A and B are shown apart, each in its own frame.
Chain A
Amino acid sequence: MQSKPRQWQWAVPWLFLAPALIVFTWFKFVPIAKGMVMSLHNMKFFGPDEWVGLAHYERAISDSALHAAVGNTLLYVIVSTVVGGVLAFCVALALQDQARHVRIIRTAIFIPAVTSVAILSEIWRIVFYPAANGVANSFIALFYIPAQSWMADPDQALYVVILLQIWKSIPYNMVIFLAGLAGINRELYDAADVDGANVWRKLWHVTLPGLIPAFSVVIMLSFIRGFRVFTEIYTTTGGGPAGRTEVIMTVIFKTGFERLDYGYAAAVSFLLVAFTVLLTVLHITIKNRISRF
Chain B
Amino acid sequence: MTQTLSQKFARVVLYAFLLIVFCGPFWGILATAFNSATVQPGKLLLWPEEFTLRHFSYAWHEAKAYVYLFNSLLVALIGTALQTLVSAMAAYALARKRFRGMAVVSLAILSTMMLPEEVIAIPLYLTLQAKIPVLDVSLYNTYFALILPVVGWAFSVFLLTEFMKAVPQDLEDAARVDGASELQIFRHVILPLVKPALGTAAIFGFLMIWDQYLLPLIAVDKRELYTIPVVLRSMRVDEIMQSNIFIAVTVIATVPSVLVYLALQRQFNSGLTAGAVKG
Contacts and interface: CB of A to CB of B under 8 A. Distances in A.
Direct contact of A and B (CB under 8 A): yes
Interface of A: 1-4, 10, 12-14, 16-17, 19-21, 23-24, 26-32, 34-35, 38, 43, 91, 94-96, 98, 101-103, 105, 107-119, 122-123, 125-127, 129-131, 133-135, 167, 170-172, 175-176, 178-179, 181-190, 213, 216-217, 220-221, 224, 227-228, 230-231, 249, 252-253, 257, 262, 265-266, 269-270, 272-273, 276-277, 280-281
Interface in B156-178: 157-159, 162-163, 165-166, 176
A14 B15 contact: no
A271 to B, nearest CB: 11
B271 A217 contact: no
B112 A28 contact: yes
Contact of B93 (A13, A96, A111, A224): A13
A281 B114 CA distance: 12
Contact of B254 (A1, A19, A119): A119
Contacts of B240: none
A126 B26 CA distance: 11
A43 B149 CA distance: 24
Given A35-B123, A111-B22, A126 B42 contact: yes
Contacts of A186: 275-276, 278-279
B119 A270 contact: yes
Contact of B97 (A13, A20, A43): A13
B89 A183 contact: no
B73 to A, nearest CB: 14
A264 to B, nearest CB: 11
B279 A126 contact: no
B232 A118 contact: yes
Closest 3 CB pairs of A and B: A186-B279, A129-B42, A34-B123
Interface in B33-70: 41-44
A207 B112 CA distance: 32
A23 B148 contact: yes
B207 A114 contact: yes
Nearest to A1: B179
B120 A126 contact: no
B182 A12 contact: yes
Nearest to A227: B114
Contact of A116 (B112, B250, B261): B250
A207 B88 CA distance: 26
Contact of A230 (B21, B116, B122, B279): B116
B18 interface: yes
Instruction: Count chain A CB atoms within 10 A of each CB in B19, B119, B155, B275 and give the residue with the most.
Output: B119
A176 B206 CA distance: 16
A111 B118 contact: no
Nearest to A28: B112
Interface of B: 14-15, 18-19, 21-23, 25-26, 28-29, 41-44, 85-87, 89-90, 92-94, 97, 99, 102, 105, 107-116, 118-120, 122-124, 126-127, 148-149, 151-152, 155, 157-159, 162-163, 165-166, 176, 179-182, 184, 186, 196-197, 200, 203-204, 207, 210-211, 213, 228-229, 232-233, 236, 247, 250, 253-254, 257-258, 261-262, 265, 268-269, 271-276, 278-279
B41 A129 contact: yes
B97 to A, nearest CB: 4
A23 B157 CA distance: 13
Given A20-B109, A113-B261, 13 more contacts: A12-B97, A16-B182, A20-B157, A29-B108, A94-B14, A107-B265, A114-B254, A118-B233, A122-B247, A170-B22, A186-B278, A227-B114, A281-B107
B186 A27 contact: no
17 contacts: A14-B99, A20-B86, A23-B86, A30-B123, A30-B127, A32-B120, A109-B21, A114-B258, A118-B232, A126-B41, A175-B203, A182-B196, A182-B271, A269-B115, A269-B116, A273-B111, A276-B114
Q: Chain B: interface secondary structure?
A: helix
A31 B123 CA distance: 5
A233 to B, nearest CB: 13
Contacts of A281: 107
Given A35-B120, A216-B162, A24 B109 contact: yes
Contacts of B278: 185-186
Given A27-B127, A217-B162, A16 B116 contact: no
B111 A27 contact: no
A143 B261 CA distance: 37
Contact of A273 (B41, B42, B115, B166): B115
Contact of A179 (B21, B148, B182, B196): B196
B268 A179 contact: yes
A117 B108 contact: no
A270 to B, nearest CB: 7
Given A13-B97, A98-B272, A123-B29, A116 B253 contact: yes
Given A19-B89, A111-B23, A127-B25, A269 B180 contact: no
Nearest to B236: A118
B162 A213 contact: yes
Given A3-B179, A280-B114, A126 B261 contact: no
Contacts of A217: 158-159, 162
